[in-house]
Chains A and B, each alone.
Chain A
Amino acid sequence: MLDINVAQQDHVTLVEASGRVNSMNANQFGEALSDVIDKGNIHLVLDLSNVDYMSSAGLREIVSALKKVKRASGDLRIAQPSERVHEVLEMAGLDTIFQIFATQGDAVGSY
Chain B
Amino acid sequence: MNLEERRLQIPATMDQVAIACDFVAEVARDAGLDDDGVYHCRLSVEEICTNIIEHGYGSNASGEVIDIVCRYSPQRFVIRVFDDAPRFNPLELSSPDPTTPLWERQSGGWGVYFVRKFMNNVEYRYEGQRNQLVMQKHIS
Interface residues of A (CB under 8 A from B): 22-24, 53, 55-57, 59-60, 63-64, 66-67, 70, 84, 88, 91-93, 96-97
Q: A24-B18, A84-B39 are in contact. Are A91 and B114 (CB under 8 A)?
A: yes
Which of B58-66, B74-82, B99-107, B119-127 makes up part of the contact surface? B99-107
User: Hey, what's the 0/1 contact readout for B1-27 against A, CB within 8 Å counting as 1?
Assistant: 000000000000011011001000000
> How many A-B contacts are there with CB distance less than 8 Å?
58
Residue in contact with B117 in the complex, picked from A60, A63, A66, A91, CB distance below 8 Å: A91
Query: Which residue of B is nearest A23, CB measured?
Result: B50
B contact residues vs A (CB 8 Å cutoff): 14-15, 17-18, 21, 39, 42-43, 46-47, 49-50, 96-103, 105, 107, 110-111, 113-114, 117
25 sample A-B contacts, Cβ–Cβ < 8 Å, listed by A number: A22-B17, A22-B18, A22-B46, A23-B46, A23-B50, A24-B14, A53-B39, A53-B42, A53-B43, A55-B46, A55-B114, A56-B47, A56-B110, A56-B111, A56-B114, A59-B110, A60-B110, A67-B103, A84-B39, A88-B114, A91-B98, A92-B96, A92-B98, A96-B99, A97-B101
- Measured CB to CB, the closest approach of chain B to A85, in angstroms, equals 11
Tell me the nearest residue of chain B to A67, going by C-beta. B102
**Distance of A75 from chain B, by nearest CB (Å):** 11
Q: Across the two chains, which residue of chain A brings its CB closest to B114?
A: A56
Complex alpha-carbon distance, A93 and B51, angstroms: 21
CB contacts (< 8 Å) of B39 on chain A: these are 53, 84
Q: Which of A55, A64, A70 contacts B43 (CB 8 A)?
A: A55
| Cβ–Cβ < 8 Å partners of B101 in chain A | 97
Distance of A53 Cα from B17 Cα, bound (Å): 15
